[in-house]
Amino acid sequence: MRLSLTISLLFFTLFAQATVYKWVDKDGKIHYSDKPIENSEAVEFKSNTQNQIKLQMPKANASASNDDPESLTQYNLSIASPAEEETIRDNEGKITIMARISPDLDTKHVLVLLMDGVVVGTPQTSPIFSLKDIDRGEHSFVIKAVAQNGKQLASTPPRKIYLHRAIISRQGTPTPFGGVN
């Protein structure tokens, strides 16, 4: 009994494929249905008809999005001066960092300087950063181009710089006993 039921169900499924009908209405719109309508014709599908969906892979540079026109600018940003691992000798702790950017920075965008991973100073449009009172030693600098909404548009690779700052603490000069030479 079960075998005959199974065979009959398989037999009906082979012939149970629904026919699809296509027709055009008075406005010229094309419609599809599984029921025949006046002036409709049966649609024949090829045996290899399959739904094929191709997903686009996200771009490697996620900094530019199509919905934000101000982030469409692709900046090429680098530190021009000082050179990598350059030693600067300045007893007042002054360092000048100069960037190279192309194309020119948009008026809505600013440059931010990071020293050792911390933002130094205020954002600015000039590619020249003048720092003073910097402690001696090794420092890493990065410059980022940023939009008004805070979105990072470009960044330089870290630049390692050494500051040599001789600090001399002068103590009183010793005088001989009695103060007479």
Domains defined for the chain, CATH in brackets? 16-45 (no CATH), 72-164 (2.60.40.10)
Contact 75, 105 (CB under 8 A): yes
User: Angle at CA 33, nearest 5°, toward 29 and 38?
Assistant: 75
pLDDT digits 0-9 by tens, 146-164: 998 889 999 999 999 999 9
Give pLDDT, residue 62.
Answer: 47
Instruction: Check: CB of residue 109 under 8 Å from CB of residue 146.
Output: yes
Cβ atoms < 10 Å from Cβ of 95: 18
How do beta strands 86-89 and 159-164 pair?
parallel
pLDDT per residue over 93-119, tens digit each? 999 999 999 888 888 899 999 999 999
Per the listing, tokens 């026109």 go with 69
Better-scored residue on pLDDT, 43 or 48: 43
Dist. CA 141–CA 78, nearest whole Å? 11
Q: How far apart are CA 102 and CA 78, in angstroms?
A: 9
